[in-house]
Chains A and B, each alone.
Chain A
Amino acid sequence: MNEFITLMKPELLLMAMIFILLISKLGVGFNQSNLMKLIQGMLLINFIAGFFMNGEGQLFDNMYHTSSLIVLEKNILNLGMVLISFLFTDWFKKCDHLAEVFVLMLTALLGMFYMISSGNLLMFYLGLEMATIPVAAAATFNLEKKVSSEAAMKMILSSAFSSGIMLFGISLIYGAMGTLDFSEIPALLNGDSLQVMAFIFLFTAFAFKMSVVPFHLWTADVYEGSPIGITAFLSVISKGAIAFVFVSTLYKVFQPFHEIWYNMIMVLSVMTMLVGNLFALRQQNIKRFLAFSSIAQVGFILIGVSSNSIQGATSVIYFVLVYIFSNLAAFGVAGLVSFFTGKENIDDYKNFYKTNPLLSWIFALALFSLSGIPPTAGFFGKLFLLTSGASNGNYAFLIIAALNMMISLFYYLKVVRAMFMDKNENPILPIQINFATKIALFVCGGGIVLAGFFGFVFDYIQALVK
């Protein structure tokens, strides 16, 4: 019993929060602002509690397993969740169904935790579904906007489709090997064509969820239509969780197939970077812009994955951590502007610096970090991804990747130029930043500037990966 509690502590805490929120709807009579404080407080406690009393081991006949690395990954996601609840305070407070939104997001997070901890493909599939469907429901919460329901519809359809593909892959794996247990699969992989086909189906479903080109078509529409808090959740937390699982599945379960997936990843990575970057060049809406830029970022994550080394896995986890800070900072500023003025176009940001210097600096820092310019943490994150990818000695691949960094700089600078250089008669008026939001923005900004210099973080993650 005791072991059960220590091992499943992250999930149990999330479940407790979900129940508290559900009860709060039963006429306890919180007003919006108190409820928001309660949620933020609980998430903060949950994040801090994640560091204490953790165990390693497995439960339910190896259905569920956990280790220090998995606990760390969950903590990273918890951190992202705390930041989201702080960054979008204003929008959440105005939302009529505050408790429901958080119940849905936390349920999705719970699903991701199960997915990360899964030791069996069935458990993995359950977690994945649980992580997807609630988010689709949450995407409709801009109730008065038509695009919001459209986004939810697109997301539910495309994820149902990809789940179908994944289930097909899982059933083929069971047919070919007679087991779904992660620890038993590697020994049974012998390169049989049925196994390869099953693996490719599974891989495709992963690519769908991570919005790897050519499976990315749902991303931009969903990001644009959803409320910005949910968009941030989708692009940072969901993507981070899938990246964690992707790495551990490929490295541990499908290690014998690494020659097959190395080539697949290389092609997909180049396509993802190129398409994401080239489409981002032409976007005017800031949410679509960030959507395509985050597609391009996935291409970079794939470079790290392709290396098939301890350092590759470490770089991916490190990059997700950095990515949480940088992307959330960008979404945070865009969210504030969109909430207070309703403006979402890059042109609306012209001369933003004059009226909102603090927000401009944070936005600029976030964009520099996304494009990988020092001294921001994104520079270190991207460089480590590239270095681990370079261990294969594939210089053409690396040059394409490095030149993609240049393309991405072009469109990130477009926003910077609008904020700092372009003239505008009526810039966006000064925005009153909520105290909680300010803290979160400072945490993100601090993370962006400082995280790169704390080399021990990287070394720590690497020690856990081993």
Chain B
Amino acid sequence: MNLLILILVPLITAIAVFLMRNKEQVKWTAFAGASIQLILSLFLFKAFNDARAAGNTAQMLFEQQTALFKSWNISLHLGVDGISVAMILLTSFVVVAGVLMSWKVEKMTKEFYFLLILLSMGAYGFFISLDLFVLFFFLEIAVIPKYLLIGIWGSGKKEYSANKLALMLMGGSALVLVGMFGLYFGGGKSFDIIQLSNIHIPVATQKICFPLLFAGFGVFTALFPFHTWTPDGHSSAPTAGSMFLAGISMKLGGYGCLRVATYLMPEGAVEYSNIVIVLSAIAVLYGSFATMMQKDFKYINAYSSVSHCGFVLLGIGMLTKVAITGAVMQMVSHGVMTALFFAVIGIIYERTHTRQIDEMGGLLKVMPFTATILFVIGLCSLGLPGLSGFVAEMTIFMGSWERTDMFHRAITIAATMSIVVTAVYILRAIGQVAMGPIKAEYLHLTDATWNEKLATMILLIGILAIGLAPFWLNNLVSPGAEIIMQKIQLAK
């Protein structure tokens, strides 16, 4: 399968959206493009598994390389392993759902969909590129669409949030950029990830560049203390914007931390792993306690995203195969879960016009479908077995438990405690929204429309597929984690 098509389809869709004449055409074009992309990703998943089953054990499959800037040794080098395939699957699910959830956008519809598709193109490109320069290009390409999506179509203090998000992400990519240069000049003047992984990068360089790259990507994935853009950004964004931000965009950071920082600089990763673990444990605990204080539904999910993404970094920092596998699974699981959560919040907000949970109540009576989904998603978030959250977090804990010394044990136990806190805030929020007496003005509310139902069902399929049969994801991801671990073993 030619991977270039994964970038071309969104690009063509974006251009087509721009050429359309009326809103209906725009919406259907975007939907068609996103659906084609979903089918392509499923096809990629199948082709990948077939190739592996046929005994192809190459590290990266479907590789291709075209020189872009010969003088810098930059090329469009594409290829996927299991980890990337998992991330691409996640992206395509969230994009289709996001497009469906934006069906009612009236203001500048064309521009909205154009930016949305452009954002998804950035994510696809990021996950399939094996050249740091191209990877960075796709990382940055997504910043401006996010800024405009929040600033134009957002709500609340949207201009402040949009600015904060754009500047913090730009600051993060500035750190990534400098770290990249360190790799380039430390590793024989090449940006190619595969080549760099075969060269031993000088330990002195790793000690400078690992923190730069990890913190830089960490900004994207809400590494404490760079998480402050997350709550504001997520809560001000339009529904699809929040879904993309939390579901896809934060995962760019996690993937970067794993694939670029940890994989290319194993000595650096070992050296700094304790700091990473402490910071991510703080994010996990701080995020969940901060969530308890929130009254705004979107802020609740935004802070809980900080907490859940802390698990991703915790898994990476633990440096065991199981924990890293769990981190990737948590990225996929949290991506689908949080996108669905934001979708449900969007559905409710559109009808009640408030996001304050104490102003709602009894919505189960008038919106049974939406409220049911809300229950499922809440239970997934607090880690109920059978749903995706449990599988991913359990894997991370099991991986962390393999580190037997006092420090790692203590951190693992502390992080596990956050599950209790999660249960408290999730159950309280859901209870307040869905149960209890219903206010008179909410009695006429209608349930989800067809597009909203379709969007939530697509994401729900993802959650159940991971929760009920986790092995396909585990088998997909763990060979990739194994390769990363081999390098770390050598470094230890």
B140 and A421 within 8 A (CB): no
Query: Would A405 and B181 be within 8 Å (CB), given that A373-B143, A379-B140, A421-B151 are in contact?
Result: no
Residues of B contacting A459 with CB < 8 Å? 69-71
- Closest A residue, CB atoms, query B70: A459
B137 and A455 within 8 A (CB): no
Q: Does A161 sit within 8 A of B, measured CB to CB?
A: no
Interchain CB contact (< 8 A) of A398 among B144, B152, B163, B178:
B178
B147 and A413 within 8 A (CB): yes
A458 and B137 within 8 A (CB): no
Interchain CB contact (< 8 A) of B68 among A373, A421, A455:
A455
CA distance A455 to B167 in the complex (A): 29
Which residues from 53 to 107 on chain B have a C-beta closer than 8 Å to any C-beta of chain A? 67-72, 74
Residues of A contacting B345 with CB < 8 Å? none
Q: Does A430 sit within 8 A of B, measured CB to CB?
A: no
Query: Would A386 and B181 be within 8 Å (CB), given that A402-B174, A421-B151 are in contact?
Result: yes
Residues of A contacting B212 with CB < 8 Å? 399
CA distance A346 to B152 in the complex (A): 18
Chain A: residues with Cβ within 8 Å of the partner, total of 33
- Closest A residue, CB atoms, query B182: A395
Q: Does B465 sit within 8 A of A, measured CB to CB?
A: no
Residues of B contacting A403 with CB < 8 Å? 171, 174
Query: Would A374 and B185 be within 8 Å (CB), given that A311-B72, A406-B170, A455-B69 are in contact?
Result: no
A395 and B184 within 8 A (CB): no
Q: Smallest distance from the beta carbon of B105 to chain A beta carbons, Å? A: 15
Query: Would A409 and B70 be within 8 Å (CB), given that A374-B137, A402-B177 are in contact?
Result: no
Which residues from 93 to 151 on chain B have a C-beta closer than 8 Å to any C-beta of chain A? 133, 136-138, 140-141, 143-144, 147-148, 151
Residues of A contacting B163 with CB < 8 Å? 410, 413, 417
Q: Does B208 sit within 8 A of A, measured CB to CB?
A: yes
Interchain CB contact (< 8 A) of B175 among A402, A409, A410, A458:
A402
Q: Tally A-B pairs: CB < 8 A.
A: 90
B67 and A455 within 8 A (CB): yes
Which residues from 162 to 195 on chain B have a C-beta closer than 8 Å to any C-beta of chain A? 162-163, 166-167, 170-171, 174-175, 177-178, 181-182, 184-185
CA distance A339 to B244 in the complex (A): 42
Q: Does A29 sit within 8 A of B, measured CB to CB?
A: no
Interchain CB contact (< 8 A) of A374 among B141, B166, B208:
B141
Q: Does B159 sit within 8 A of A, measured CB to CB?
A: yes
Residues of B contacting A405 with CB < 8 Å? 170, 174
Residues of B contacting A379 with CB < 8 Å? 137, 140
Q: Smallest distance from the beta carbon of A335 to chain B beta carbons, Å? A: 24
A373 and B144 within 8 A (CB): yes
CA distance A453 to B174 in the complex (A): 22
Q: Does A390 sit within 8 A of B, measured CB to CB?
A: yes
Q: Smallest distance from the beta carbon of B167 to chain A beta carbons, Å? A: 6
Query: Would A420 and B69 be within 8 Å (CB), given that A374-B140, A406-B171 are in contact?
Result: no
CA distance A311 to B178 in the complex (A): 18
Chain B: residues with Cβ within 8 Å of the partner, total of 37
Residues of A contacting B166 with CB < 8 Å? 409, 413
Residues of B contacting A368 with CB < 8 Å? 144
- Closest A residue, CB atoms, query B177: A402
Q: Smallest distance from the beta carbon of A460 to chain B beta carbons, Å? A: 10
CA distance A455 to B76 in the complex (A): 11
Residues of B contacting A398 with CB < 8 Å? 177-178, 181
Residues of A contacting B143 with CB < 8 Å? 373
B184 and A420 within 8 A (CB): no
Which residues from 384 to 441 on chain A have a C-beta closer than 8 Å to any C-beta of chain B? 384, 386-387, 390-391, 393, 395, 398-399, 402-403, 405-406, 409-410, 413, 416-417, 420-421
CA distance A374 to B177 in the complex (A): 13
- Closest B residue, CB atoms, query A388: B72
- Having A406-B170, A417-B151, one finds 19 other A-B pairs with CB under 8 Å, namely A311-B72, A373-B140, A386-B177, A390-B178, A390-B182, A395-B181, A398-B178, A399-B175, A405-B170, A409-B170, A410-B167, A420-B148, A420-B152, A455-B67, A455-B74, A458-B71, A459-B69, A459-B70, A462-B71
- Can you give 24 contacting A-B residue pairs, CB < 8 Å? A311-B71, A311-B72, A373-B141, A373-B144, A374-B137, A375-B137, A379-B140, A383-B177, A386-B177, A393-B185, A395-B181, A395-B182, A398-B177, A398-B178, A399-B175, A406-B167, A406-B170, A406-B171, A410-B163, A417-B163, A420-B148, A421-B151, A421-B159, A455-B69
